[in-house]
Structures are given as C-alpha cells and as structure tokens.
C-alpha cells in the first residue's frame, strides 16, 4: 500500500512537470506571436513616408514604389540605399530639367499586403502619383496570409496545401516557413529551379509554379490582385508598371498575368545568376546589398526610359496612362 502511494505521488509530480512545461511552451509561443505582431505594427507605422513634405508637393513627377522586401530594402545598410531611393537619384540625374520624387512604400508581405497598402495609402496622397511601380508577387509562392484568392473564394488551394494556409494564420507560422526556406544562398536556389529540381530540394511545403495545380491557384490569385491594383492606378489617373525581382521562379507567371492586362512590364535583370560572384548580394544570400540595389535601380530606370513612361513633358506620361486604360491596346515591354 505504501509503495502504491509513493508511485501515485511520483506520477502526480511527473504530470505536474509535464503540465508546467506545456504551459511554459504555450506562454512562450503567445509571447513570441505578440512580439512579432508588435514589431510588424511598429515597422508599418514608422517607415511610412510623410506625404506633406515639400519634396512631394513640389515634385514635377511623382513615383510611388509598392512592394515587399526588395522594395523595402532588406539587405541594404539603410533605406537610403533601397532601390526606390537610389532610383530617385538616378532619374534626377538623367532628367535634370525635372524634379522627380520617388516614395518607398515597400513592406514585407505578399500581394495582399501590397494591395492593402495601396488602398489605404493612395487616398492620402496630396496629389496622384504619375507612376506606380509594383513588385512583390514572388512571395505568394510561400506566404498565404490573407490570400485574396482564398478570402474572396476566387480560387482553391490544392488539397495537399490546405494545411499551409491554416499554419500561416499566425506570425509564428510565417516565420517558421521563412526559416525553412532560408537554408541556401540565392544563387544555388536559382540554379536548382532552372534545373527543375525545386520539388526535390524544397519538398512539397511551398507552392510550386511548375506544378499545374499550384500554378492555377497562383495565377488566379495574382490576376485578382493585379486587376485591383490596376483599378486603383486608373482611379488615380496614374500609370502602373509591374517589375520583377531577380528570383525568376515566379517571373514567368507574373509576366503572363501582366500581359493579360496589357500593363507595362520591367523584366528581371538578365545577369541575375552573377549577382553573388559580383558581390551584389547581402549576407543573407537573397537580397541585394547597397551596390546591388543601385544596379537594380539603374535597371528600373532603364525600363522607365525604354517604355517612355517619363519624358520632359507631362503629355507623354498622360498618353501612356490612356493606353493603360485601354487593355486592348498592347504596350511595349522590355525583354
């Protein structure tokens, strides 16, 4: 009887320890989730450009850059070296007769986050932007947070990816997905994609635009958000240009969607596989460094000039806007 009592006490102690450990784990996860949400809110609030500055009000030509981490400037020593800020300096050198202002409206996320930011930011602009540059559809391949295609019932995820949308309802879930993806440098990742080894190297965790069922979902999602973005631009009487980052695994899909809406398109730089040996990537192996963003900004400037989106006279820009409002009239794109 005594041994039985001792065994019961021992089991209760073990059970209490297990419960305590579980409570500590749950509390830690809740704390981390709250911390990540607080950081996200702080970043979104404090990196937002002020719209009442003289530079904006007095600009002859206003460009608003919306996008994810490539637009925000992850990897740069400061936001002054992000591509929008370097683009402003480059364009003002090339078009010295004009005062050009470029706003960095980038914030990490998928196309839902970009669309949402466009919706609540553009209405506060003191004057409509002349050009809106959007770059940021690549994250849709892994970030399903508030996917408009799912929210609006516009498309269904493949059965084997349903769990991913539920998992990413939390910041921890998205963070865990990023952690899973971050195990290789950018150049190796690109090489594997080009050799069609993405399924082998990444498993079945994220959406693969090479798989028909994944591609169908991604295309419907991108088309939906891109159409909303175009409508916002037209309501502002602004031209919208879709640009591509260097990670090419989603670029063919983005290109296809942009062509369906006859939107001006800036292709990714052709030398993307050489960015690592050139020393243009940051330490994370994914995002450019200061020099890389400068190269990318020059590439965007070339696209703007090649598409004739910016000229010394406003009439040229207005003509492109009229073309965007007429989807049946094709617009030249940069190959």
Domain boundaries along the sequence of the chain = 1-46, 57-324
Q: Note the pTM of the prediction, 2 decimals.
A: 0.77
Can you give the pLDDT at residue 235? 94
Residue 311 CB burial class (10 angstroms; 0-12, 13-18, ≥19): middle
Q: Which of 305, 148, 198 is nearest to 241 (CA)?
A: 305
Predicted local distance difference test score (pLDDT) of residue 138:
87
- pLDDT number for residue 316: 37
How much is the pLDDT for 278? 84
The CA distances from residue 86 to 63, 169, 189, 298, in Å, are 13, 35, 27, 8
The CATH architecture of the domain made up of 57-324 is 3-Layer(aba) Sandwich (3.40)
* Residue ranges of the chain with per-residue pLDDT less than 50: 183-187, 198-204, 313-335
């Amino acid at each position: 009887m005594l041994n039985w009592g001792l065994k019961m006490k021992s089991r209760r102690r073990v059970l209490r320890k297990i419960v305590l450990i579980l409570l500590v784990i749950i509390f830690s996860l809740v704390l981390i989730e709250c911390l990540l949400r607080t950081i996200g809110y702080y970043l979104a609030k404090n990196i937002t450009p002020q719209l009442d500055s003289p530079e904006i009000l007095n600009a002859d030509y206003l460009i608003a850059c919306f996008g994810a981490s490539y637009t925000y400037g992850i990897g740069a020593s400061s936001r002054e070296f992000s591509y929008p800020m370097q683009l402003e300096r480059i364009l003002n050198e090339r078009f010295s007769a004009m005062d050009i202002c470029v706003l960095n409206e980038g914030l990490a996320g998928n196309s839902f986050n970009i669309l949402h930011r466009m919706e609540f930011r553009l209405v506060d602009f003191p004057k409509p932007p002349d050009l809106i540059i959007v770059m940021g559809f690549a994250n849709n391949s892994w970030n399903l947070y508030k996917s408009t295609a799912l929210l609006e019932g516009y498309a269904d995820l493949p059965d084997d990816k349903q769990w991913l949308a539920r998992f990413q309802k939390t910041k921890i879930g998205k963070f865990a997905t990023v952690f899973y993806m971050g195990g290789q440098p950018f150049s190796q990742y690109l090489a594997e994609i080009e050799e069609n080894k993405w399924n082998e190297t990444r498993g079945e965790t994220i959406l693969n635009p090479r798989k028909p069922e994944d591609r169908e979902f991604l295309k419907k999602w991108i088309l939906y958000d891109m159409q909303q973005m175009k409508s916002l631009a037209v309501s502002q009487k602004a031209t919208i240009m879709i640009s591509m980052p260097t990670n090419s695994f989603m670029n063919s899909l983005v290109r296809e969607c942009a062509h369906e809406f006859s939107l001006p398109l800036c292709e990714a730089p052709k030398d993307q596989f050489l960015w690592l040996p050139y020393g243009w990537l940051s330490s994370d192996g994914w995002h450019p460094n200061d020099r890389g963003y400068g190269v990318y900004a020059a590439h965007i400037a070339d696209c703007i000039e090649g598409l004739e989106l910016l000229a010394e006279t406003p009439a040229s820009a207005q003509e492109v806007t009229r073309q965007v409002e007429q989807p049946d009239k094709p617009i030249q794109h940069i190959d």
